[in-house]
Amino acid sequence: MPIFEYKCCSCGEDFEKLVSGNPDINCPKCSSKDVKKKFSVFSATGTEKPLAGTSGCTSCTKTSCISCK
């Protein structure tokens, strides 16, 4: 089951919800149903190698350089 991030349009509360199917989502602070799903991005940390499509270089924008090796 995925976890989605929401923002309440009534009180401004940001919250996360574990969602299965298409349930009604209520704000945990004010119980309003006037909530919007926020855009979430995937994050990967602790990888040993650079992710595919990245150079891993933090000192320049080239795909490889002497300081990256």
Query: In the chain, what are the domain boundaries?
Result: 1-40
Please tell me the predicted confidence (pLDDT) of residue 39: 85
Please tell me the predicted confidence (pLDDT) of residue 20: 86
What is the rounded (10 degree) CA torsion for 31, 33, 36, 37? 80
Nearest to 15 by CA among 23, 24, 6: 6
The total of other beta-carbon atoms located within 10 Å of residue 41's CB is 4
Please tell me the predicted confidence (pLDDT) of residue 14: 96
Phi, psi of 9 (to 5 degrees): -80, -15
Q: Hey, what CATH class is 1-40 in?
A: mainly beta
Sequential pLDDT tens for the chain (69 residues): 788 999 999 999 999 999 888 889 999 999 999 999 998 766 666 656 655 555 555 666 666 666 555
Burial 21-31, CB ≥16 within 10 A → b, else e: eeeebbbeeee
Please tell me the predicted confidence (pLDDT) of residue 22: 81
